[in-house]
Structure 1
């Protein structure tokens, strides 16, 4: 997929978030197999839409690499700078508001908690018993985890992460969804077996 020259001249941040409303149209593709859970289907589609936008940007970079190497170097460097600048601003804000060991920053209305001693950043309630998705260590040096209820928030802060980090986040969500689906199937099988046993003993 090629992108016009005007789009190539945009910052990575502005390109990733332009026409965000288009992502909402993808929700119409919801299937009967999709079941409600602790996060909304729309949140997941919003996140997937941002990933598609990132892929479109990477395709444009590849086109520039082949046809305009100098432009490619400029775009690649600018994207890395955009990501690093955004994250460093958030990290600095958290350090300013913290006690040296921990801190919190608000980004696009989303509270992001930092544990500087252990290089951990989190989004959402991390209390014991909560449904947590662990992504692992990111390229910024922090291990990242978030509450499953906050998947929609993650889609609003993707410019803090490198493309590789975004892939790790999506993989973690996919793995979690598979695990949840398997748990639900097991529970349903147990319920069906119990119901069948009950009817046989009557």
Structure 2
């Protein structure tokens, strides 16, 4: 299994190809590759991303069958089922890297901001559960100077939510926390730009400051 640094570089290189329109993965899956994977899988990265149809992780990072262990949920929120899925991949496959992947113009983030500014009682309990998980990360922004600028507020909220989810993974699971402490797992946060196709890794990067 490759190291977290190698896995990160592979994702960055794949995203550069994707953003430049030079994706190397074929849309056709080779039969031999399918047969190789019958005996097991060894994904080199775990992606906790948003369910938004415009952000498919395999395409965004130009990876193929069996390369990524992908968990998608609206707002890339962290709940017990997501933590359990990440624990499973990290322990069973030795996957060294977790990426919490948010994206620009996230509908779940905007829905949370709308709910905070103009509370509604019509949302289903299931939708409210997503909003409630995002709320703690973005609520403080409504007291900041950016609260009057809707675009800046939404952009900061996306990153605040990514940071909160990454931090929850680092400290909300004894299994993941121990893997991180041993240096066997790296958890980082990133944002995908719908406008450019580029992924900015901005949180938890080794030997670099967060933005």
Question: Does TM-score exceed 0.5, indicating one fold?
Answer: no
TM-score by length of 2: 0.30
More helix per residue? 1
CA radius of gyration, larger in: 1
Q: Which has the higher contact order (CA 8 A, sep 6+)?
A: 2
TM-score by length of 1: 0.31
